[in-house]
Structure 1
Amino acid sequence: MAGPETILEVSGLVKHYPLTRGILFKKQIGAVRAVDGVDFALGRGETLGIVGESGCGKSTLARLLVNLEPPTAGSIRYKGEDITRLSGRALKAVRRNIQMVFQDPYTSLNPRMTVGDIVGEPYEIHPEVAPKGDRRRRVRELLDVVGLNPEHINRYPHQFSGGQRQRIGIARGLALRPEIIVADEPVSALDVSVQAQVINLMARLQDEFGLSYVFIAHDLSIVRHISDRVGVMYLGKIVEIGTDEEIYEHPTHPYTQALLSAVPVPDPAARERRERIILSGDVPSPADIPSGCRFRTRCWKARERCVLQVPPLAVPEEFRGTTGPAAHDSACHFAEEMRVVPPEEPPEKPPEEPHNSANTHEVR
């Protein structure tokens, strides 16, 4: 069965920030390799989750995807067209179809503008989307779609809670009816109960508007809830990518296994059976990335081959030719499947009580 149509294709994407020395005559002495060769494809109507610890390059990747920053190398193809080479009107037209929801709902909204002006601002940039006399009505409809009272159109951001502000940001992202939304940790600054509301809202909007998401987060449980596929980033590269079942139930890369072993488990019995993986050492600086496998300085499987050779992001040799869930792309020379969290044992079925219609409504 063929997968969904590819709407966004990223190939060899690189973003390096130069490190310079000197005041009058600056000399480049190195570079911070924030994104260092990322490849993935996004299907129409699909959600691709990107996870990884802080500093791995997730937010830089998000800014590159919407062309807020120019890449150092690589390509981002939207419907076959490389948007990194566009400028002017051509780039403006593409940006209409690729929108972004920012991480912090408190700083991503202009405090001097009303909600109506914030959500309606995209119409000022793309006036062809909505006639001037129809914009107020459209803004009210968008507020209603994201679960806000349309009557609050004249309020300011400080009059809303964090979850409501993030809904305003989502409404602004939907204003131009885009095909792709890049969500950069959209719920990390919200309370847990509000996180669930926003995630469920995004899932509903995806079905309603036919959206494709690149959902970036560091919370593995949230990513699994909303994502069809998951990519795990480490020091600017994707080290493992696959469906949510492949990544969470059958991880093959040591870094993914270590991340999953740190996820809190609500079941006490499963928590006792789980083997916690403690990584040694600190995360290397992106300005001084280790040779070969960039995870080798913290990996318990590291050998000489890991120092000399960069592992490709591909199906490991051990699983090639198989069709099991472990046969997915993993950048490790010694990849092997490991169940990090043991399956929960089904609870014992309580004995059935004899049915007595006489005391069906008896209060016990």
Structure 2
Amino acid sequence: MRADGEAILEVRELVKHYPLHRGILFRKQVGAVHAVDDLSFDLRRGETLGIVGESGCGKSTVARLLVHLERPTAGRILYKGEDVTRLSGRALKAVRRNIQMVFQDPYTSLNPRMTVGDIVGEPFEIHPEAAPKGSRRARVRELLEVVGLDPEHINRYPHQFSGGQRQRIGIARGLALRPEVIVADEPVSALDVSVQAQVVNLLARLQEEFELSYVFIAHDLSVVRHISDRVAVMYLGRFAEVGTDAEIYEHPTHPYTQALLSAVPVPDPLARARRDRILLSGDIPSPADPPSGCRFRTRCWKAREKCAEVVPGLEVPEWFRGGGAVAHASACHFAAERRVVPGEE
């Protein structure tokens, strides 16, 4: 589904720092883990925004902030123009009904002591206005059928299902309240490749059927490209590059994006031999002590003195503003297009 231009979710200068303390009796804060720093983006109605990056870059923290499982250190999250970060009580509960989450691990996100019917129907206990008490059982059966499960299995327990089926149960739970936004935090990373395709196709079908907007988080670049309208590449708490799927995958301009794409497996042996492989030196810096200026500079082959002194803005580089697929936002002082996968036009 393509977006219609209206922003349903607006994130502005979002920050999440986790304090680091020392001492037992006299605890003192000695620093902070910079999980998310100065993140701004929009999610349009009917759009899928993919967020991709290495483990530890802050993707899951963004997901928890969007559904208000964590409170931000600073910044705003606007749902239809209303700042969610300032809400509490009934007002927050009403907004949460419209922003639901699908969790990463289908094995630990479902209560093993509850039946599938109780798991999928639990949101109706929290939001009784969503379904009259007498019709909840029928609604749960309907949801199970929508996600491709047998409604007759409503009394089974999670351990009686496979990993892919458990993730479908999690998706059904997320759909129960008919939300407008679903935050999917690596929903296929724990599944086999063949099952991944089934779940991704299911999500795409449900988006059309229920008019959903997705924030789809993953570390698998091929999965993100398959389902996303726009892609944001994240590194150490900040976005490095943002653009459409074609702009990011076929015309990458940020060195980190280019390094990620060069590591994607290529099935064609001839194309694999011609691929421009980029090997990064050094380790990922600690989020408790991020580098000054550009956070990627300690591993970047283009790094100059300016990179250590000035934080690059996430914007279209001046030399690319003439138009075309290369004209998209990139947080690099020396952004330049580099084709790393052969055969792409």
Same fold (TM over 0.5): yes
What is the 5 A alignment of 1:303-322? 303-320=304-321, 322=322
Partner SS state of residue 41, structure 1:
strand
Deviations 1:238-261 (A, max 9, x none): 110000000000000000000000
After TM superposition, where is structure 1 displaced by more than 4 Å over at least 4 residues in a row? none
Contact 1:279 1:298 in 2 (8 A): yes
Partner SS state of residue 154, structure 1:
coil
Corresponding position of 1:337: 337
Corresponding position of 1:79: 80
Corresponding position of 1:356: none
Corresponding position of 1:180: 181
Deviations 1:106-158 (A, max 9, x none): 00000000000000000000000100000000000000000000000000000
Corresponding position of 1:328: 328
CA pair 344-231 structure 1, distance change in 2 beyond 3 A:
closer
Partner SS state of residue 283, structure 1:
coil
Counterpart-to-counterpart distance in 2, 1:242 and 1:189: 27
CA pair 270-136 structure 1, distance change in 2 beyond 3 A:
same
Corresponding position of 1:50: 51
Contact 1:270 1:344 in 2 (8 A): no
Aligned length in residues: 343
Contact 2:276 2:340 in 1 (8 A): yes
Counterpart-to-counterpart distance in 2, 1:91 and 1:250: 40
Partner SS state of residue 141, structure 2:
helix
What is the 5 A alignment of 1:250-329? 250-320=251-321, 322-329=322-329
Tell me the TM-score normalized by structure 2. Answer: 0.98
Contact 2:230 2:244 in 1 (8 A): yes
Look up the equivalent residue of 2:332 and give its one-letter code. C
Contact 2:250 2:344 in 1 (8 A): no
The CA RMSD measured in Å over matched residues stands at 1.0
Partner SS state of residue 45, structure 1:
coil
Deviations 1:11-55 (A, max 9, x none): 100000001111122111100000111111000000000000000
Partner SS state of residue 197, structure 1:
helix
Deviations 1:154-197 (A, max 9, x none): 00000000000000000000000000000000000000000000
Counterpart-to-counterpart distance in 2, 1:16 and 1:10: 16
Matched, 1:105 2:106: yes
Look up the equivalent residue of 1:299 and give its one-letter code. C
Corresponding position of 2:235: 234
Identical-residue share of aligned pairs (%): 83
Look up the equivalent residue of 2:58 and give its one-letter code. G
Deviates more, 1:266-275 or 1:145-154: 266-275
Counterpart-to-counterpart distance in 2, 1:259 and 1:82: 34
Corresponding position of 2:224: 223
Look up the equivalent residue of 2:159 and give its one-letter code. H
Counterpart-to-counterpart distance in 2, 1:275 and 1:220: 17
Which residues of structure 1 form unaligned runs of 5+? Answer: 346-364
Partner SS state of residue 213, structure 1:
strand
Counterpart-to-counterpart distance in 2, 1:22 and 1:196: 49
Look up the equivalent residue of 2:44 and give its one-letter code. G
Contact 2:4 2:46 in 1 (8 A): no
Counterpart-to-counterpart distance in 2, 1:137 and 1:300: 59
Which residues of structure 2 form unaligned runs of 5+? Answer: none
Counterpart-to-counterpart distance in 2, 1:344 and 1:300: 24
Counterpart-to-counterpart distance in 1, 2:62 and 2:330: 19
Look up the equivalent residue of 1:155 and give its one-letter code. R
Look up the equivalent residue of 2:40 and give its one-letter code. D
Matched, 1:31 2:39: no
